[in-house]
Structure 1
Protein backbone atom coordinates (compact mmCIF):
# COMPACT_ATOMS: atom_id res chain seq x y z
CA UNK A 1 0.00 0.00 0.00
CA UNK A 2 3.03 2.28 -0.22
CA UNK A 3 2.35 4.29 -3.35
CA UNK A 4 -1.41 4.15 -2.76
CA UNK A 5 -0.85 5.58 0.71
CA UNK A 6 1.34 8.35 -0.68
CA UNK A 7 -1.29 9.27 -3.25
CA UNK A 8 -4.07 9.21 -0.64
CA UNK A 9 -2.03 11.44 1.71
CA UNK A 10 -1.34 13.83 -1.17
CA UNK A 11 -5.01 14.09 -2.16
CA UNK A 12 -6.32 14.37 1.40
CA UNK A 13 -3.76 17.00 2.37
CA UNK A 14 -4.43 19.03 -0.76
CA UNK A 15 -8.20 18.92 -0.20
CA UNK A 16 -7.84 19.91 3.45
CA UNK A 17 -5.52 22.80 2.66
CA UNK A 18 -7.98 24.08 0.08
CA UNK A 19 -11.01 23.63 2.35
CA UNK A 20 -9.30 25.30 5.31
CA UNK A 21 -8.11 28.14 3.11
CA UNK A 22 -11.68 29.12 2.33
CA UNK A 23 -13.37 28.33 5.65
CA UNK A 24 -10.97 29.56 8.35
CA UNK A 25 -10.37 33.29 8.64
CA UNK A 26 -6.92 33.03 10.28
CA UNK A 27 -5.63 30.39 7.86
CA UNK A 28 -2.65 31.79 5.95
CA UNK A 29 -3.21 32.90 2.40
CA UNK A 30 -1.46 30.20 0.39
CA UNK A 31 -1.72 29.71 -3.34
CA UNK A 32 -2.70 26.52 -5.14
CA UNK A 33 0.95 25.99 -6.10
CA UNK A 34 2.04 26.19 -2.47
CA UNK A 35 -0.74 23.79 -1.46
CA UNK A 36 0.41 21.35 -4.17
CA UNK A 37 3.99 21.62 -2.93
CA UNK A 38 2.98 20.97 0.71
CA UNK A 39 0.80 18.02 -0.31
CA UNK A 40 3.60 16.56 -2.45
CA UNK A 41 6.04 16.86 0.46
CA UNK A 42 3.57 15.16 2.81
CA UNK A 43 2.98 12.33 0.32
CA UNK A 44 6.68 11.88 -0.44
CA UNK A 45 7.95 12.01 3.12
CA UNK A 46 5.07 9.79 4.25
CA UNK A 47 6.09 7.27 1.58
CA UNK A 48 9.70 7.35 2.79
CA UNK A 49 8.57 6.92 6.40
CA UNK A 50 6.50 3.88 5.37
CA UNK A 51 9.57 2.42 3.65
CA UNK A 52 11.73 2.97 6.73
CA UNK A 53 9.26 0.87 8.73
CA UNK A 54 9.28 -1.99 6.26
CA UNK A 55 6.70 -0.85 3.73
CA UNK A 56 3.53 -2.21 5.28
CA UNK A 57 2.39 -0.68 8.53
CA UNK A 58 -0.67 -1.57 10.54
CA UNK A 59 -3.55 0.93 10.26
CA UNK A 60 -2.69 2.58 13.61
CA UNK A 61 0.94 2.81 12.47
CA UNK A 62 -0.08 4.45 9.21
CA UNK A 63 -2.28 6.82 11.17
CA UNK A 64 0.58 7.80 13.47
CA UNK A 65 3.02 8.30 10.60
CA UNK A 66 0.44 10.33 8.67
CA UNK A 67 -0.26 12.55 11.67
CA UNK A 68 3.39 13.18 12.51
CA UNK A 69 4.50 13.82 8.93
CA UNK A 70 1.56 16.07 8.06
CA UNK A 71 1.68 18.09 11.26
CA UNK A 72 5.44 18.57 10.97
CA UNK A 73 5.45 19.64 7.32
CA UNK A 74 2.47 21.98 7.65
CA UNK A 75 3.84 23.48 10.89
CA UNK A 76 7.25 24.10 9.34
CA UNK A 77 5.67 25.72 6.30
CA UNK A 78 3.33 27.91 8.35
CA UNK A 79 6.09 29.21 10.64
CA UNK A 80 7.15 31.75 8.07
CA UNK A 81 3.67 33.30 8.34
CA UNK A 82 4.08 33.99 12.06
CA UNK A 83 4.68 37.72 12.11
CA UNK A 84 2.09 38.80 14.67
CA UNK A 85 2.28 36.52 17.69
CA UNK A 86 -1.53 36.45 17.94
CA UNK A 87 -1.84 34.09 14.96
CA UNK A 88 0.68 31.54 16.25
CA UNK A 89 -1.96 29.48 18.06
CA UNK A 90 -4.22 29.51 14.99
CA UNK A 91 -1.45 28.12 12.77
CA UNK A 92 -0.49 25.45 15.27
CA UNK A 93 -4.14 24.49 15.70
CA UNK A 94 -4.61 24.33 11.91
CA UNK A 95 -1.52 22.13 11.54
CA UNK A 96 -2.69 19.75 14.25
CA UNK A 97 -6.22 19.64 12.83
CA UNK A 98 -4.96 18.81 9.34
CA UNK A 99 -2.59 16.18 10.81
CA UNK A 100 -5.40 14.55 12.80
CA UNK A 101 -7.69 14.34 9.78
CA UNK A 102 -4.94 12.92 7.55
CA UNK A 103 -4.00 10.42 10.29
CA UNK A 104 -7.62 9.32 10.70
CA UNK A 105 -8.02 8.95 6.93
CA UNK A 106 -4.80 6.89 6.80
CA UNK A 107 -6.16 4.56 9.47
CA UNK A 108 -9.51 4.16 7.71
CA UNK A 109 -7.86 3.52 4.34
CA UNK A 110 -5.41 1.10 5.99
CA UNK A 111 -8.22 -0.93 7.56
CA UNK A 112 -10.14 -0.95 4.26
CA UNK A 113 -7.03 -2.13 2.39
CA UNK A 114 -6.34 -4.78 5.03
CA UNK A 115 -9.89 -6.17 4.77
CA UNK A 116 -9.72 -6.24 0.98
CA UNK A 117 -6.53 -8.34 0.99
Structure 2
Protein backbone atom coordinates (compact mmCIF):
# COMPACT_ATOMS: atom_id res chain seq x y z
CA UNK A 1 0.00 0.00 0.00
CA UNK A 2 1.34 3.41 -0.89
CA UNK A 3 1.79 6.31 1.49
CA UNK A 4 -1.38 7.94 0.16
CA UNK A 5 -3.25 4.68 0.73
CA UNK A 6 -2.20 4.68 4.38
CA UNK A 7 -3.25 8.31 4.79
CA UNK A 8 -6.68 7.59 3.29
CA UNK A 9 -7.03 4.50 5.49
CA UNK A 10 -6.36 6.51 8.67
CA UNK A 11 -8.74 9.29 7.60
CA UNK A 12 -11.48 6.72 6.97
CA UNK A 13 -10.69 5.10 10.33
CA UNK A 14 -11.00 8.52 12.03
CA UNK A 15 -14.42 9.06 10.48
CA UNK A 16 -15.47 5.56 11.56
CA UNK A 17 -14.35 6.32 15.12
CA UNK A 18 -16.32 9.59 15.07
CA UNK A 19 -19.43 7.73 13.86
CA UNK A 20 -18.94 5.09 16.54
CA UNK A 21 -18.53 7.86 19.12
CA UNK A 22 -21.87 9.28 18.02
CA UNK A 23 -23.65 5.90 18.08
CA UNK A 24 -22.14 4.12 21.09
CA UNK A 25 -22.90 5.29 24.61
CA UNK A 26 -19.93 5.53 26.99
CA UNK A 27 -17.55 6.10 24.04
CA UNK A 28 -16.69 9.69 23.25
CA UNK A 29 -14.21 11.19 20.79
CA UNK A 30 -13.43 14.91 21.13
CA UNK A 31 -13.12 15.75 17.43
CA UNK A 32 -11.51 14.81 14.15
CA UNK A 33 -7.92 15.26 15.32
CA UNK A 34 -8.54 13.17 18.43
CA UNK A 35 -10.16 10.52 16.24
CA UNK A 36 -7.23 10.57 13.80
CA UNK A 37 -4.70 10.24 16.62
CA UNK A 38 -6.87 7.51 18.19
CA UNK A 39 -6.82 5.60 14.88
CA UNK A 40 -3.01 5.85 14.82
CA UNK A 41 -2.70 4.68 18.43
CA UNK A 42 -5.12 1.78 17.89
CA UNK A 43 -3.15 0.70 14.81
CA UNK A 44 0.16 0.93 16.70
CA UNK A 45 -1.14 -0.98 19.73
CA UNK A 46 -2.68 -3.60 17.42
CA UNK A 47 0.65 -3.97 15.63
CA UNK A 48 2.47 -4.44 18.95
CA UNK A 49 -0.05 -7.03 20.19
CA UNK A 50 0.12 -8.85 16.86
CA UNK A 51 3.92 -8.89 17.01
CA UNK A 52 4.06 -10.21 20.57
CA UNK A 53 1.22 -12.73 20.61
CA UNK A 54 0.65 -13.55 16.94
CA UNK A 55 -2.20 -12.94 14.55
CA UNK A 56 -4.84 -14.93 16.44
CA UNK A 57 -4.64 -12.59 19.44
CA UNK A 58 -4.45 -9.35 17.46
CA UNK A 59 -7.41 -6.98 17.23
CA UNK A 60 -7.52 -7.94 13.55
CA UNK A 61 -7.92 -11.62 14.34
CA UNK A 62 -11.34 -13.14 14.02
CA UNK A 63 -13.29 -14.65 16.86
CA UNK A 64 -13.79 -13.88 20.49
CA UNK A 65 -10.08 -13.48 21.30
CA UNK A 66 -9.64 -10.84 18.60
CA UNK A 67 -12.80 -9.11 19.77
CA UNK A 68 -11.61 -8.97 23.38
CA UNK A 69 -8.17 -7.76 22.26
CA UNK A 70 -9.83 -5.04 20.18
CA UNK A 71 -11.92 -3.87 23.14
CA UNK A 72 -8.82 -3.84 25.36
CA UNK A 73 -6.84 -1.82 22.78
CA UNK A 74 -9.67 0.73 22.52
CA UNK A 75 -9.87 1.01 26.31
CA UNK A 76 -6.09 1.39 26.71
CA UNK A 77 -5.89 3.97 23.90
CA UNK A 78 -8.03 6.42 25.88
CA UNK A 79 -5.11 6.89 28.30
CA UNK A 80 -2.80 7.89 25.44
CA UNK A 81 -5.12 10.14 23.40
CA UNK A 82 -6.59 13.31 24.84
CA UNK A 83 -10.26 14.06 24.29
CA UNK A 84 -11.27 10.39 24.32
CA UNK A 85 -13.30 8.83 27.13
CA UNK A 86 -14.26 5.18 27.15
CA UNK A 87 -15.65 2.86 29.79
CA UNK A 88 -14.99 -0.86 29.61
CA UNK A 89 -18.58 -1.45 28.43
CA UNK A 90 -18.18 1.36 25.91
CA UNK A 91 -14.99 -0.26 24.58
CA UNK A 92 -16.83 -3.57 24.11
CA UNK A 93 -19.69 -1.83 22.29
CA UNK A 94 -17.21 0.21 20.21
CA UNK A 95 -15.30 -2.96 19.23
CA UNK A 96 -18.60 -4.53 18.17
CA UNK A 97 -19.66 -1.45 16.18
CA UNK A 98 -16.24 -1.12 14.52
CA UNK A 99 -16.37 -4.82 13.63
CA UNK A 100 -19.78 -4.36 12.00
CA UNK A 101 -18.63 -1.26 10.12
CA UNK A 102 -15.51 -3.14 8.96
CA UNK A 103 -17.81 -5.64 7.26
CA UNK A 104 -18.93 -2.84 4.95
CA UNK A 105 -15.63 -0.93 4.72
CA UNK A 106 -12.96 -3.66 4.76
CA UNK A 107 -9.33 -2.70 5.17
CA UNK A 108 -6.35 -5.01 5.05
CA UNK A 109 -4.46 -5.66 8.24
CA UNK A 110 -0.71 -5.07 8.55
CA UNK A 111 -0.29 -8.86 8.81
CA UNK A 112 -2.13 -9.45 5.53
CA UNK A 113 -0.26 -6.63 3.80
CA UNK A 114 3.09 -8.10 4.86
CA UNK A 115 2.04 -11.54 3.73
CA UNK A 116 1.03 -10.20 0.30
CA UNK A 117 4.38 -8.41 -0.06
CA UNK A 118 6.27 -11.62 0.78
CA UNK A 119 4.54 -13.55 -2.04
TM-score by length of 1: 0.48
Structure with larger RCO (C-alpha < 8 A, sep 6+): 1
TM-score by length of 2: 0.48
Determine which structure has the larger strand proportion and give its number. 2
Structure showing greater radius of gyration is 1
Determine which structure has the larger helix proportion and give its number. 1
